[in-house]
Structure 1
Amino acid sequence: MKIAVVGGGPAGMYFSLLMKKHDPSHQIRIYEQNAADATYGWGVVFSDVALSFLEKADASFYAKFIANHERCNYMEVVHKGVHVQLKNNHFSRASRIDLLGTLQQECLTHGVEFEFGKRIEDIAGLGGADVIVAADGGNSAIRTQFAQYFRPTIETRRNKFAWYGTHQLFHPVSLIFRQTEHGVFIAHSYQYSKELSTFLIEVAPETWHKAGLDTMTDEESRRYCEQVFAPELGSNGLLSNRSLWFNANVVSNAKWSHGNIILLGDALRSVHFSLGSGTRMAMQDAIALQEAFSRNGSDVQAAFADFEGLRRSSSSNFQEAAAKSLDWYENIEDKMGLDPVAFAYDYMRRTGRVSHDDLRQRDPEFVSSYEALTAA
């Protein structure tokens, strides 16, 4: 088959790699609007469950991908200056640039073609492909072109975010909650290489305005946030990489395909980073779509229906969990009075997917501390 993939992110490249490995006769070309080495953001996070999917799908790529990962088997919630450890929460972290670089090299090695610096606004320029995979992100131009068929829903959430990096190394995935005179500042932080950590800052819009962040330059905003989180950052500052404030959009689509076009990754559905599952879901989509073609051969419509039947339920479940997680963060002011242990417990239960017994099995010492607190 002749396959055109619009978007050179994890979803588009991983699907292309898997398709080419399973059938080298496929002609696959990826169209990416950015340069080969361009990326936004700092690190990506995978749970052990997420990594198990990748190992099963392609053990060779998996071995190369995890070679330089940073790993930790616990996380921390920092509230009122108290660090509460939550054991048996396993996370593997990597540079987003390394992930994209490894995927690019593997794709090239197996004969996938690339065209960088090429933004596709109209599928007419794709030259008669049998299959068009729209993996062009949350602002997908292909989805926009055929919006009447896909019927997308885009919900803009209220909190503001700025995505920084730092040389301060946060070994566990760390969630830091800081009460200030203007409101609550939240940092989502984790080490993803030997030298760097991600440091994603979140604030309510009211806090953003009261602190004057709405009128600050990028440099002024960076310095202000450094002061807020000075106790955790120590002698290290924040690093900016187009670290402008933004709102999170939650994307879903009534239809996943139209004609010979299929949506994939963030173009199909976004999962908020408070669950750390966006890249995981994109790559699981890629696995499922390739497997659907393996089962259905060149019957494109059957493969699309197979893919949607396999993934729609899990997609909806993740988005429901993400919505509950977002609600928790957006109402954080109501919880700041909690004891640090009770606060961490509330955080772990925020999506409704983790029960008290689940927590007890994962970290009995933490649950015993919480039970002693509530008994007192």
Structure 2
Amino acid sequence: MRIVCVGGGPAGLYFAISAKRRDASQEIIVLERDPPGATYGWGVVYWDNLLDVLFRNDPGSARALRAASTLWQEQRISLGGSSAAYLTGYGFSLQRAALLEILARRATDLGVEVEYRHEVDDLRPYADADLVVASDGANSRVRQLAQDDFGTKVEIGGNPYIWLGTDKRFDSFTFAFERTSAGWIWFHAYPSSVGVSTCIVECSQRTWKGLGLDLLSAEDAPRMLEKIFSGPLDGHPLISQCRGRAARWLRFADVTNRSWYHDNVVLIGDAAHTTHFAFGSGTALAIVDAVALAQSMYDSGGDLPAALRDFDRRGRAALGPLQAAARTSMAWFERVDPYLDQDPVSFAYSMASRQGEQPPWRYPVHRVSQHPAVRRALRGLNSSARWGLARRRGEPVARRSAEG
């Protein structure tokens, strides 16, 4: 079978890896429009459930990805420079460039051809392909060639946001909300790699225009934001340039499709669906798509139409609740003003409860968990759980003890 993957992001590369591991005889080529190493964006976050998928599917690349990742513990929420509140838990983050380099190397080792600087605007040159995998992102050119057949719907969010970096090292997933003369503005920050953190700045359209951020250049906007967030950043600078590209303000595109396949073209990752960054699962869902499509093809015994039907049916059914939760999360941040007059502990609970009503016992537990001794105990419990999960999936455990 000849397979052409358009787009060399996590979805396309991991599908190529997954498909090759199930059937090495398949001829797979990944076409990426950018040069090697070029990627827009800083870091991605994930949790233990993705590590479970990675280690089951391809332990070799899983070990490399985990080794390149950084552990963060707790979520820290501050309001206008006041004392912070905390949410328990932990997660992992990974520089996007490192993620792509590891996956591209693994795909190449398995016999996948990865071709860079290759723009695809027309599928006619690939008429001999048995399958075309559109893994070219939320603005998928392949999807746009037949978007009526896919039933594509794109809704644009209201809040402007921008992905930046900083050399301040965050140990927690940090939310910092700051009041300005034009309204509230905030960032989501987390470690990306050694010495570098990702910092996503977001605000309402009214605040964005009121501050004049819509008129500032790519060089001047970070300087203004550094002043606004000088406290949470401890005076560290914000970085706009990422691998030669200046960051720009965006609005989230909520992409849905009535069908994820048409004829021999199938959509995966952001080409098929997007989830708001406040939900933090875009990369994980792209990888889950990649595994699911490869497995459907393997299970079908060569019946490609049956494989695509199975992937579409199972994938959309599983994604529905997650995409709904992501929309709820996005809407909460777009309507956050009524919550911002609370104290940090109450505000943090509102943020943690944004998916729906909570049982009565949750709030007292949340308040107790703010005590330093309780937080230390919870971090210890999380470390034990993390060590157990690492052993179960065959992850080297010496690293777990080093991280505590």
TM-score normalised over the length of structure 1: 0.94
Consecutive unaligned residues in structure 2, runs of 5 or more:
373-404
Give the aligned residue type for 1:231: G
Residues 232/216 of structure 1: CA separation in 2 closer, same or farther (3 Å cut)? same
Q: Is the 8 A contact 2:259 2:312 kept in 1?
A: no
Q: Is 1:270 aligned to 2:271, yes or no?
A: no
Whether the aligned pair in 2 keeps the contact of 1:359 and 1:367 (CA below 8 Å) is no
Whole-Å separation in 2 of the counterparts to 1:259 and 1:302? 12
SS in 1 for 2:84: strand
CA contact (8 A) 2:85 2:370 kept: no
Query: Tell me, what secondary structure is at the counterpart of 1:230?
Result: coil
Other-structure match for 1:244: 248
The residue aligned with 2:391 is none
- 2:167–2:237 Cα contact (<8 Å) kept: yes
Measured on the aligned residues, the alpha-carbon RMSD in Å equals 1.8
CA distance in 1, matches of 2:367, 2:302: 51
* Secondary structure of the structure 2 residue equivalent to 1:94: strand
1:31 maps to 31
CA-to-partner distance for each residue in 1:49-100, whole Å, 9 max, x for gaps? 222222222222111110021112311111242211211x221011000000
**Identical columns (%):** 32
Q: Match for 1:61: what amino acid?
A: S
Give the structure 1 partner of residue 56 of structure 2: 56
Letter in 2 for 1:286: A
Show the counterpart of 1:372.
none
Against the structure 1 CA distance between its residues 74 and 357, is the aligned structure 2 distance closer, same or farther, given a 3 Å change threshold? Answer: farther
Q: Distance in 1 between matches of 2:272 and 2:251?
A: 19
TM-score, structure 2 normalization? 0.87
Go from structure 1 to structure 2 and tell me whether the alpha carbon gap of 1:364 and 1:332 turns closer, same or farther (over 3 Å shift). closer
Name the residue aligned to 1:339. Answer: 343
Aligned residues of 1:360 and 1:367 also touching (Cα < 8 A): no
Segments of structure 1 that go 5 or more residues without pairing to the other structure are 370-376
1:127-138 aligned within 5 A? 127-138=127-138
Aligned residues: 367
Alpha-carbon shift at residue 235 of structure 1 (Å): 3.1
The verdict on how the C-alpha distance between 1:2 and 1:167 changes in structure 2, with shifts beyond 3 A counting, is same
User: Is the 8 Å Cα contact of residues 256 and 308 (structure 1) preserved in structure 2?
Assistant: yes
Alignment partner, residue 44 of structure 2: 44
Pairing 1:309–2:309 present: no
Output aligned runs, 1:135-284, within 5 Å: 135-241=135-241, 242-284=246-288
* CA distance in 1 between partners of 2:64 and 2:248 (Å): 32
Question: Which moves more between the two structures, 68-77 or 316-325?
Answer: 68-77
Counterpart contact for 2:345–2:367, Cα < 8 Å: no
Can you list the C-alpha shifts for 1:232-265, whole angstroms capped at 9, x where unaligned? 1123100012211111100000111101110010
- Tell me how far apart the structure 2 counterparts of residues 188 and 265 of structure 1 sit (CA, whole Å): 23
Describe the shift of the 1:204–1:68 C-alpha distance in structure 2 as closer, same or farther (beyond 3 A): same
Q: Distance in 2 between matches of 1:367 and 1:191?
A: 22
Structure 1 residue 358, shift from structure 2 partner: 9.0
Distance in 1 between the 2:331 and 2:68 partners? 34
Structure 1 residue identity aligned to 2:97: I
Q: 1:368 to 1:83 in 2, by over 3 A?
A: closer
User: Corresponding residue for 1:294?
Assistant: 298
Stretch moving more, 96-105 or 236-245 = 236-245
